[in-house]
Amino acid sequence: MDVISENRCFGGVQGVYSHASDVTGCKMTFGAFLPAEAADGPVPVIWYLSGLTCTHANAMEKAGAQGWAAEQGVALIFPDTSPRGPGVADDEAYDLGQGAGFYVNATEAPWASHFRMWDYVADELPALVGRELAIDLERQAITGHSMGGHGALTLAMAHPGRFASVSAFAPIANPVASDWGRKQLGAYLGADEAAWGRHDASVQMLERGFDGPVLIDQGGSDQFLDLLRPEALSQAMAARRQEGVFRMQKGYDHSYFFVSSFMEDHVNFHAEALWA
């Protein structure tokens, strides 16, 4: 693991690291915030998965999470959103290929050789940060924004017992029924829609739910409401009798000004579950 940068931040350290990934077959970069308490031993962690077009840097610089994480004594990990590099397949569209991994393991050409973000975020990166940083893998929580909210919810439900809590900011909530989903799941997983359901938060919520509390924030003036389909997730949460809260936030859009406005609530929500 190579150190790209380390900056003191709210009494802790905001680092950026890179490593050769066996899973994605390329060099991967991620951000990690460790609070001051990490100097004395492993601390709980909140994963933050980012949205379309983002790298590890967007949330690290704009979401305003470090101050709240420092107050709670928890770490933050900011993975990238896809494999990258000249040898990695890409597409001209902003919503497919590099920057748009959708947190799946691609099975179709030309994506299958590198686009394995599900395994990367679920297995390889946790093992790495558990080994290299003062992170306690027995206490994990997960959140994300937009495509990253989709990733957080689907990963959390697929790994019962791993995450104490899950939250999302304006998640892509029902990709099997949205142009933010059908295009990408078709490209990465193929035309057989039977393989798509495990990557749809609303489908998974109905089928199995999450074994802990859930917090969803959605901007009421989000310019992508038709693509996000929050109503599918809200309906599924209620139908499942899922422990959790779904909040429609009047006037907020899809930007980091929305995310940062509610970051305190999300970090505190996860900290309560992590320290329980």
**Residue ranges in contact with a copy of itself by CB under 8 A:** 7-11, 14, 61-62, 64, 66-67, 219, 221, 251-253, 255-258, 260-261, 264
Helix intervals (H) in 125-229: 125-132, 147-158, 182-189, 201-207, 225-228
Strand partners, 97: 100
270 and 141 Cβ atoms separated by less than 8 Å: yes
Q: For residues 167 and 178, which CB has a smaller minimum distance to a copy of itself in the complex?
A: 167
Q: For residues 196 and 258, which CB has a smaller minimum distance to a copy of itself in the complex?
A: 258
Helix and strand tally (H, E) in the chain? 10, 9
| Shortest Cβ 17–a copy of itself spacing (Å) | 15
Out of 146, 165, 167, 178, pick the active-site residue: 146
91 and 97 Cβ atoms separated by less than 8 Å: yes
Q: For residues 185 and 263, which CB has a smaller minimum distance to a copy of itself in the complex?
A: 263
| Shortest Cβ 42–a copy of itself spacing (Å) | 21
Out of 56, 145, 199, 254, pick the active-site residue: 254
| Shortest Cβ 256–a copy of itself spacing (Å) | 7
Closest to 267 in 3D by CA, of 67, 97, 79, 12: 67
Out of 80, 200, 217, 222, pick the active-site residue: 222
| 146 among known catalytic residues | yes
Q: For residues 61 and 138, which CB has a smaller minimum distance to a copy of itself in the complex?
A: 61
268 and 68 Cβ atoms separated by less than 8 Å: yes
Query: Max alpha carbon distance in the chain (Å)?
Result: 50
| Shortest Cβ 205–a copy of itself spacing (Å) | 27
Positions annotated as catalytic residues are 146, 222, 254
